[in-house]
Chain A
Amino acid sequence: MVETLQNLMFGFGLALSPSVLMYAFVGCLVGTLVGVLPGVGPLAGISLLLPVTFGLDPTSAIVLLGGIYYGAMYGGSTTSILMRIPGEAASVMTCIDGYEMTLKGRAGPALAIAAVGSFVAGTLSIVALMFLAPPLAEFALRFGPPEMFALLVLGLLVLAYMSSGSMAKSLTMAALGLLLGMVGIDTMSAFFRFHYGVVELGDGIGVVPVAVGLFGISEILLSAGQDNKAVIRTPRLRELLPNRTEWRQSAAPIGRGTVLGFLIGIIPGPGHVISSFVSYSVERRLSKHPERFGHGAIEGVAGPESANNSATTGAFVPMLALGLPSGAVPAIMLAALMIHGIAPGPMLIHEHPELFWGVIASMYVGNVVLLILNLPFVGLFVNVLRIPYGYLYPAILVFATIGVYSVNNSVVDVWIMAGAGLAGYVLRKLNFDLAPIILGLVLAPMLELSFRQSLAMSAGDYTIFATRPITAVMLLVALTLLLVGMRPNLTRMLKWWVPGRLEPAASGERKKNP
């Protein structure tokens, strides 16, 4: 403990040096600006600025890229809240209640809570990272393909179980998302599936075009032409911040989101996406008034934003301690380190303590810088909504198109965005929840790969899913959730197969046949 604190002081000495502090500030500023642009997320921002880091020392390079990452995550939540356009998959859940708060004139508190929740979660998870990195990394190593498969199945079923509508409808959406994820080249056999002659579909259907289309474009399709769209007046300063009730309502979700996000983020995979979905579902289940969710519940912003920021820090655990990137963004950061001749892994802490502790300390600094930068901008962002909607939505459409096109420089993604927009418009009219589609799409490749790898490990023996303890427990929980959630449907089915035996007619009346 004493040694850790001494090392941390050493790290702060580096992180608070003028040059490193400047890179943290620049990274956070650029990241926020990039993240605010609809459709342009942290991956695009980091990829664009990676070449800029070539001339920097390793610590400054990682501090700059880290600042861009946190900044872009926060910027992505800004467009989710103000325009219902998620910057990336992890911001999808923030769209739901964040945008509803905007429609009720509470955009300022939503943005402020997102900033504060991200700061608290980021700070607490950095403390956890400091002390727990090596043992947690060891635990993460125990996650093989069977555990990963079970975790992903459990994640999908938790989301479906905790959704407000029927579980059958949520599972339908999740299955649809998983099927969309099957498009493209199969990683194990290189077989090209469902491409219909379109070469660009080789890498599959991208998450960004689908997310922007399903949420952002569908919102434009539903809202455009409405003359009575809410007029946003100039907010007073006290209206930009949450009131006492909102602070009180947000405290526990921020705490729970922090813990959930960090633990899920450690596990290699799309932890920040899963954590935001799980956090939202948990908050809705625990709430005394779950009917508020989907209609501007501040817990629906506080929890997911804290979870995804905490997961961001958690993702650094396998990256720094084991050299295992848990997603695309840590992979690029890993590439940045390797370009500078640093090999992340178990020996990093011993061979390059200045890098490890400098990065940890800069995370603290970056979180403070983000809070200082973004709280004053809340008023500015809210004022964007005062632009007449007849001009605003065409601008949003253009930004979305740029963001989507820039991912792969492909117009196929623009077509996918338009198609997803149409699908989202129709599905929202039919009262379907869109979030499970995104989760299914994100998880599909990993789900399939881990399933087939598991069977390869066991030479085709399915008992591998029952004999490994962590896998068996997670699948059992998943099965329980499925049976409990589908109970009404199963009961109905049993009545259909065994008519008249399960439930005696009430008051002498006979039920008509369906």
Chain B
Amino acid sequence: MRALTVDRAAGILFAAFSVLVFWESRKIPFGTMAEPGPGALPVLLSLILLACSVAVFRGGRVGERLADVRWTEWRHAVAILGTCSFMALALERLGYRLTILIALLVLVSIVERKGWLAGVVFATSFSLGTHYLFNTVLRVHLPQGPFGI
């Protein structure tokens, strides 16, 4: 079996996504051709995406193989995405300052291995400094945590 190329893999992925959108769009009123409803354009666009995915798949006979794509930085990527997820979860629960302090500490001290002292100094000063700049000077509302932290 010929090795899967990047374009063919992408074509399959987007074709599957377009079928999913088409399936989900059945819950939205289509209207009529003369008076399209809110479901008309999602259906049309999902069909366009499907057609484009087939074109990408067909054009992907030759090209870079999926197995040759290198994901060497995946560990850092997972750590960073995990930190983003933590920030999203904790921002309105722990408040801005505590959330950013923890996030920066993890990234600088653990992920980047800059040492605990450097991490604590950087995380503390950055979280407090940006809070002052945005919340106080620029009047951008940043969430507060428990006990007004």
**Which A residues are closer than 8 A to B by beta carbons?**
34, 40, 44, 48, 166, 168-169, 171-172, 175-176, 178-179, 182, 186, 188-189, 191, 193-194, 217, 220-226, 390-391, 393-395, 397-399, 401-402, 405-406, 409, 411, 414-415, 417-418, 421-422, 425, 429-432, 447-448, 451-452, 455-456, 459-461, 486, 488-489, 492-493, 514
Contact = CB atoms under 8 A, between A and B. Distances in A.
18 contacts: A168-B59, A169-B56, A171-B55, A179-B21, A182-B41, A186-B38, A189-B38, A220-B80, A222-B73, A224-B77, A390-B108, A405-B142, A409-B141, A411-B92, A414-B91, A451-B36, A459-B34, A486-B55
Contact of A179 (B28, B46, B84): B46
B87 A48 contact: no
A451 B41 contact: yes
A391 B122 contact: yes
Contacts of B28: 191, 193
Interface in B35-77: 35-42, 45-46, 48-49, 52-53, 55-56, 58-59, 61, 64, 69, 71, 73, 75-77
A216 to B, nearest CB: 11
B6 interface: yes
The secondary-structure label for the interface of chain B is helix
Interface of B: 6-7, 9-10, 14, 17, 21, 24, 28-29, 32-42, 45-46, 48-49, 52-53, 55-56, 58-59, 61, 64, 69, 71, 73, 75-77, 80-81, 83-85, 87-89, 91-92, 100, 103-104, 107-108, 111-112, 114, 122, 126-127, 130, 134, 138-142
Contacts of A171: 48, 52, 55
A30 to B, nearest CB: 9
A431 B100 contact: no
Pairs A-B, 8 closest by C-beta atoms: A460-B34, A225-B76, A186-B38, A390-B112, A168-B55, A418-B84, A172-B52, A175-B49
B52 A430 contact: no
Nearest to B113: A390
Given A172-B55, A221-B81, 4 more contacts: A221-B77, A394-B112, A414-B87, A452-B36
The secondary-structure label for the interface of chain A is helix
Between A34, A168, A222, the greatest number of chain B beta carbons within 10 A of the residue's beta carbon is seen for A168
